[in-house]
Structure 1
Amino acid sequence: MSLLDLDEWLIDLAAHVDLVYSPIADTKIFPSAVDLALVEGAIANNEHLELIHTIRRNSRILVSLGDCAVTGNVTALRNPLGAAAPTLQQIYVDHGDPRGIIPSEPGIVPVLLDTVVPVHAVVPVDHFLPGCPPPAPRIRAMLEALLEGRTPDAQGPEMLRFG
């Protein structure tokens, strides 16, 4: 949503970029030779793990966008509960579904990792943009710098604030 808060600047941005992969574009396969990938969200299941390796392999610059990608944040709140299997047992059997069934249909429900981790715990990240979510001016500042071939200035309270 913060990306959409860039409002009319998105029109200017569209003149300089091609959106090749996103939930908006509904592309199923991450393409090769991507200049810039903005990745939001932590790595919590086997699909995330596979996709982040593909994104890193096929992207020149990778940005962790938002506190979940940078630190694990809310998604990682399940980590103190322990491994995935006992967590699912508590959620679905002990406290949830009256039938006591843990969803496990192959190919439909991704397999949870035992620990939720931030993106940089799995692959190298070039830039970090914290915030939950990062405000539009922060996103714009980073994108403008990267489009101009500059290293983003991620200093000061406005650029580094979490939450």
Structure 2
Amino acid sequence: MSTAHPHHAPAPPPYPALPRRKLKVATCSLAGCFGCHMSFLDIDERILQLIEHVEFDRSPLTDLKEVGRCDLGLIEGGLCNAENVEVLRDFRRQCHTLVAVGACAITGGLPAQRNAMSLPHILGEVYQQREGLKTGCAIPNDPELPLLLRQVRPLHEVVQIDYFLPGCPPSADSFWVFLTDLIAGRTPRLASGPIRYD
């Protein structure tokens, strides 16, 4: 029988221990500028600590084109065409936790500025009526091109999103805090700082 007094038992750790296996993480960029991925890479040497706990699946870091079963999916950019929707739905099927990263993924961002005009008007302006175009220019209609959506849409309008990481782009520190919280099994802390209206 133990003689240790119950009040002197060591306190349990405040958070669960880091997982024994590496978490599988996938990332992709849809209708956006790729700025969120660049900001993620700004965690600099901390990425060496990160890869002790994660393994990248589909991502620009691996150049894989298909996403496999993953613990976490990070998606930047909104939805402007049918291919974007297909990729998003594939990520939702394959990723246990899905995160909308940055303003374009969360609200449609800058690409959604075209929503104020009709798609035929925009295509005509860009491909047929813009100054400097040759006479007889046509709107591209190759069947290999993804079908454009009438409006750019944020991710949560198409699939269930588990977390939103705001910013344009989110800072490297925001990525670091968010990911290390998830890796440790904590609910991610989302500061109000990344949301600004200036």
Q: TM-score scaled to structure 2, two decimals? A: 0.75
Give the structure 2 partner of residue 106 of structure 1.
143
CA-atom RMSD, angstroms? 1.6
In the TM superposition, residue 24 of structure 1 has moved relative to its aligned partner by: 3.1
Report if aligned partners of 1:72, 1:118 keep a CA contact under 8 Å in 2.
Answer: yes
Task: Say yes or no: does 1:94 pair with 2:125.
Answer: no
Residue of structure 1 in register with 2:55 after alignment: 18
Match of 1:27 among 64, 67, 83: 64
Task: Give 1:23 shift.
Answer: 2.5
- 1:60-71 correspondence runs (5 A): 60-71=96-107
1:4-153 superposed matches below 5 A: 4-31=41-68, 33-82=69-118, 84-95=119-130, 97-98=133-134, 99-107=136-144, 109-153=145-189
Q: Which ranges of structure 1 fall in alignment gaps of 5 or more residues? A: none
Which of structures 1 and 2 has the bigger CA Rg? 2
Question: What amino acid maps onto 1:105 in structure 2?
Answer: D
| Higher share in helix | 1
> Hey, what's the Cα distance between the residues in 2 that align with 1:162 and 1:2?
20
Q: 1:95: how far off?
A: 1.5
| Percent identity of equivalent pairs | 39
Report the residue type matching 1:93 in the other structure: Q
Closer/same/farther in 2, CA of residues 127 and 162 from structure 1, 3 Å limit:
farther
> By how many angstroms is 1:87 displaced?
1.9
1:160 deviation in Å? 4.1
Indicate if the aligned counterparts of 1:67 and 1:130 stay in contact, CA closer than 8 A: yes
Of residues 39, 42, 45, the one that matches 1:2 is 39
Distance 2:174 2:59 in 1: 20
Q: Deviations over 1:115-155 (max 9, x none)?
A: 10111111010000111111001111110111011111224
Pick closer, same or farther for the CA change 1:104–1:23 going to 2, 3 Å: farther
Q: TM-score, normalised by structure 1?
A: 0.91
In 2, Cα distance between equivalents of 1:60 and 1:75: 28
CA contact 1:154–1:160 (8 Å) conserved in 2: no
